[in-house]
């Protein structure tokens, strides 16, 4: 289930005063099973980019190959693409509508034409995977807390069993505990199911710990693309575009400047602790 974007351009409101080029010549290749983070400042084009992945918006210019097939070719089955690429929007809890949690999660599988039993089975699995407590299955989704609503909404996409899961700022507006829980569960899901996960965020700190690869977007173009270590080594450039490397990067660089022989490429707190312990 590889994803290959070639020279994607996207322009909003072409031909009006509101014309805005959201993406400029973006080329990205994502092999199956990778855990990718897409980072960028507000308005950098990351949300526009991910909507291309399941065909919700069509590039003004460029080609998108999913699994080797050209998505923009005539007669391409968009529905099957959307079944395989699950997209969780920002604040996904705003899309909940059913009378109880279980039927809301069933909405996706039901649209795939599955039987009622199969839908419910998948819904239960998905709710379990996001750590949603079973006693609330028959509650109205509108009575839940913010964090629980979000879990239900993510489960609603997971229940479709996508091969690629795309999450747009899944932790926006959550408290630190809720944020870590959701990210941990996503990481666990990635490990267990082997699906491709694409995580969009504007916080380096959040995703450095989890992802194999980081793509940095700036003003509609790809700025950096590489492992967290590679990307964070450009921490000065990142600052120029309004982003910041994780705090440990700064600490390690500061330590090195003061003459400690530490490895400045560590990305997580745990690694940093180890490094510092080594030199002490």
Partner 1 sequence: MIRDITIGQYYPADSIVHKLDPRVKIVCTMLYLISLFMFRSVAGYALCTVFLAVIIRLSKIPFKFITKGLKPIILLLMITLVFNLFFTSGGNVLVSVRILKITDEGLRASVYMGLRLVYLIVGSSLMTLTTTPNALTDGIESLLRPLNKIKVPVHEIAMMMSIALRFIPILLEETDKIMKAQIARGADLESGSIIERAKSMIPILVPLFVSAFRRANDLAMAMEARCYRGGDGRTKMKPLVYKRRDYVAYVITIVYCIILVLVGRYVPFKIWIF
87 binds partner 1 (CB under 8 A): yes
Closer CB to partner 1, residue 92 or residue 170?
Answer: 92
Choose among 74, 75, 55: nearest CA to 10: 55
Q: What x/- string results for residues 91 through 110 when contact with partner 1 is judged by CB under 8 A?
A: -x-xxxx---------xx--
Closest separation in Å from C-beta 77 to partner 1 = 13
Closer CB to partner 1, residue 65 or residue 107?
Answer: 107
* Contacts of partner 1 in 17-46 (CB under 8 A): 17
Closer CB to partner 1, residue 30 or residue 157?
Answer: 157
62 binds partner 1 (CB under 8 A): no
Q: What x/- string results for residues 185 through 224 when contact with partner 1 is judged by CB under 8 A?
A: ----------------------------------------
Number of residues in the chain: 280
Closest separation in Å from C-beta 127 to partner 1 = 15
Choose among 125, 200, 133: nearest CA to 157: 125
Residue 248 token pair = 């440990």
Where does this chain bind partner 1 (CB under 8 A)? 13, 15-17, 51, 54, 56, 79, 82-83, 86-87, 89, 92, 94-97, 107-108, 111-112, 142, 156-157, 160
């Amino acid at each position: 289930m590889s994803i290959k974007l070639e020279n994607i351009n996207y322009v909003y409101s072409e031909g009006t005063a509101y014309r805005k080029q959201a993406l400029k010549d973006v080329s990205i290749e994502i092999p199956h099973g990778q855990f990718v983070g897409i980072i960028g400042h507000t308005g950098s084009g990351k949300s526009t980019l991910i909507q291309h992945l399941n065909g919700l918006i069509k590039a003004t210019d460029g080609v998108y190959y999913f699994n080797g097939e050209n998505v923009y070719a005539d007669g391409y089955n968009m529905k099957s693409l959307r079944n395989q690429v699950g997209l969780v929007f920002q604040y996904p809890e705003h899309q909940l509508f059913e009378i109880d949690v279980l039927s809301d999660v069933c909405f996706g599988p039901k649209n795939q034409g599955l039987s009622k039993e199969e839908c419910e089975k998948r819904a239960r699995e998905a709710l379990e995977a996001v750590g949603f407590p079973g006693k609330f299955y028959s509650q109205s989704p509108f009575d839940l807390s913010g964090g629980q609503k979000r879990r239900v909404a993510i489960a609603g996409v997971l229940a479709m069993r996508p091969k690629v899961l795309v999450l747009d700022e899944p932790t926006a507006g959550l408290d630190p505990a809720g944020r870590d829980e959701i990210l941990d569960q996503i990481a666990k899901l990635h490990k267990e199911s082997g699906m491709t996960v694409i995580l969009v965020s504007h916080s380096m700190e959040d995703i450095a710990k989890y992802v194999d690869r980081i793509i940095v977007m700036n003003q509609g173009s790809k700025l950096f693309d590489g492992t967290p270590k590679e990307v964070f080594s450009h921490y000065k450039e990142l600052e120029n575009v309004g982003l910041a490397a994780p705090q440990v990067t700064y600490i390690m660089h500061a330590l090195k400047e003061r003459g400690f022989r530490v490895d400045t490429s560590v990305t997580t707190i745990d690694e940093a602790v180890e490094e510092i312990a080594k030199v002490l």
